[in-house]
Amino acid sequence: MEAFNDFNNPQVARLPKHLKQYIVDQNYDKYTPVDQAVWRYVMRQNYSYLKNVAYYPYIKGLERAGLSIERIPDLQTMNDNLGKIGWGAVTVDGFIPPSAFMEYQAYRVLVIAADIRQLSHIEYTPAPDIIHESAGHAPIIADSDYNNYLSYFGSIGAKAMFSAKDFQLYEAIRHLSILKEAPNTSVEEIEKAEADLQAISENMGEPSEMALLSRLHWWTVEYGLIGSLEDPKIYGAGLLSSIGESASCMKEKVQKLWYSIEAINYPYDITKPQDQLFVTATFQNLIDVLEEFASTMAFRTGGSSGLRKAVESKNTATAVYSSGLQLTGIFTDFKDNKYGGITFLKTAGPSALALENKQVNGHGKDYHKDGFSSPVGKLKNILKPLEDFTKADLQENEIGEYQPVELVFESGIKVSGIIKKITSHQNKIVLITLENCTVTSPANDILFKPEWGIYDMAVGEKIVSVFNGAADKDAFEEITYISKDETLKHVYDPKTSDLHHLYQLVRDIRVSQSGYDLLEPAFNRLVAEFPNDWLCLMQIAEILHEENLNTDLQDKITCYLSNMAKSHQELSKLINDGLKIMQKLVTQN
């Protein structure tokens, strides 16, 4: 197995193995000269425009994150620079599940899609790409108030409960984004994927915690504005990385609203520009709103509302007893009393017990492979919770190892057998193991029989927390959920490879500041063989303009590009914006 590359970055090095599974090699050599040109064009546009509307000094943020306008960033350089501010970066294959994305943030690691958008999607792509993730997120990471919010959001989001339909939505979004960035995808394929996504979106039912939290993430981390309603500045990565929407979002037709908890009531559509955006006065307000929402989440409330979310999710979740014991599994049933307190819970399939997020020895999913069930609550007619019993309390109630016992709970559940072991942790009884054990419900239904083997009874008066995923993820989740729908890799025909060679030639001339006599033959080839390619022509014009060379060729190229802008409406803004920047002599090493 290939050794894990942590880029000598402490944040990356301490990632747990269940997150490492999403990481892919960047494979820097796969970026073509066209890819490098796309990066350069977007970054020049961003710097020209965002230096006036971005909240954080854009170019300063780029430099601190190890990014430049001239070339796609490599992971080592980014990690060298981000490490200085306590962050790291890794590359992944497109969209990853939201819970994993959030958890990376909690570990202060930026998740960067390894691919880059096609030239045809240069203004905006619904697929995550290296422009969005690095040029969008990384520049503002240097702001300590913001990166603290980002990390805290990740720690909250990693605990958010999913619904079963959230995974369907995730797969539909990922599939559509892959198709839109794949070469030669038919219109029919995209239309079908869009229809499938819309059908799932319209039938999600009550939004889960993760769905609501994703809205807060979208309206802040991705599309957030800061300042005043009249003159807001951009800090959201989705806007910072979209040369189209970063400009259009500032127009009056896009409504600006103060950011509050009400943002959870505003769904978003990744496939089109947003109708409204939210403005926060300070980053502290983002934390305040997050805290307000977190107070309603299952990991804070526990109880019947939390377990109901776990059952509905049909995914691995963890319930935490007031004793500190953690039960991980897929929850299938629970009983509660009229006060909302839990009296019984049950998981199906592989389950595990943990303390302080570390699996209890001998209580992994192999041992509890068929599920787990246990009463919850106080013993009948005894005020003190069983978890708080002292040695004296145990003796007084004739509860001891190797002794027969009958435990009757307030709920009416009875547990009888011979105690084999009493397990305590930090002065709390957390588990009582019995043999020859029978467990019955208040209606005398059999919940456990002696012939089923050893019975492990969890101890706890209440369920104080319920959260998504396993308590000890590395022990429980050996293989996390990874989509089988992989991003499609480009295979270039000879003609496209010829175009790449022309792009590389122009790039080499600009970097070496020599070979200018080769620009005119390159222009002639582009016009003759690639009449619809505008970006390479733009780069030739930039070199001539900046070096004050061959004004006749400059005029010829500018005229050609202007005519192309008129005859190709979809290229009009891109070409005209490029020409404007060239005329302003905006350059950046």
Structure tokens, 496 = 């496209």
Of 253-257, 422-426, 452-456, 580-584, the poorest mean pLDDT is in 580-584
| pLDDT surpassing 60 at residue 175 | yes
Amino acid (one-letter) located at 379: L
Of 332-341, 411-420, 439-448, the poorest mean pLDDT is in 332-341
Q: Mind listing the pLDDT tens digit for each residue in 144-164?
A: 889 899 999 999 999 999 877
Q: What is the 3-state secondary structure (H, E, C) of 166-178?
A: HHHHHHHHHHHHH
Rg (Cα) of the chain, in Å, rounded?
Answer: 29
Residues above pLDDT 70, as percent of the chain: 95
Of 11-25, 234-248, 254-268, the poorest mean pLDDT is in 234-248
Of 112-121, 370-379, 421-430, the poorest mean pLDDT is in 112-121
Q: Mind listing the pLDDT tens digit for each residue in 397-420?
A: 999 999 999 999 999 999 999 999
> Do the annotations mark residue 545 as ligand-binding?
no
The mean pLDDT value for 229-255 works out to 88
The mean pLDDT value for 23-42 works out to 94
Q: Mind listing the pLDDT tens digit for each residue in 46-76?
A: 888 887 888 877 778 888 888 988 999 999 9
> Do the annotations mark residue 501 as ligand-binding?
no
Contact (CB, 8 A) for 535 and 526: no
Q: Mind listing the pLDDT tens digit for each residue in 198-227?
A: 887 777 778 899 989 999 999 999 999 999
DSSP single-letter state for residue 530: -
DSSP alpha helix (H) spans, 202-253? 209-217, 237-240, 245-248
Quick one: which of 145, 267, 273 has its CA closest to 218? 267
The predicted structure's pLDDT at residue 492: 76
pLDDT bucket at 243, cuts 50 / 70 / 90: confident
Q: Mind listing the pLDDT tens digit for each residue in 481-515?
A: 555 555 556 667 889 999 999 999 999 999 999 99
Is this structure's pTM higher than 0.95? no
Q: Give DSSP secondary structure letters for 211-278.
A: HHHHHHHIIIIIT-EEE-SSSEEE--HHHHT-TTHHHHTTSTTSEEEE-SGGGGG----TTS--SEEE
> Do the annotations mark residue 132 as ligand-binding?
yes
Structure tokens, 56 = 């954080």
CB-based burial, 558-584: b 16+ in 10 Å, e otherwise: bebbeebbeeeeebeebbebbbebbee
pLDDT bucket at 126, cuts 50 / 70 / 90: low
The predicted structure's pLDDT at residue 2: 57
Helix axes 535-546, 494-512, angle to 10 degrees: 20
CA 373 to chain centre: 33
Ramachandran region, residue 453 (left: φ > 0; alpha: ψ -120 to 50; beta: rest): left
| pLDDT surpassing 50 at residue 116 | yes
The predicted structure's pLDDT at residue 589: 36
Place of tokens 């957390």: 430
Contact (CB, 8 A) for 33 and 504: yes
**Apex CA 366: angle with CA 364 and CA 369, to 5°?**
105
Residues above pLDDT 90, as percent of the chain: 66
The predicted structure's pLDDT at residue 574: 92
| pLDDT surpassing 70 at residue 587 | no
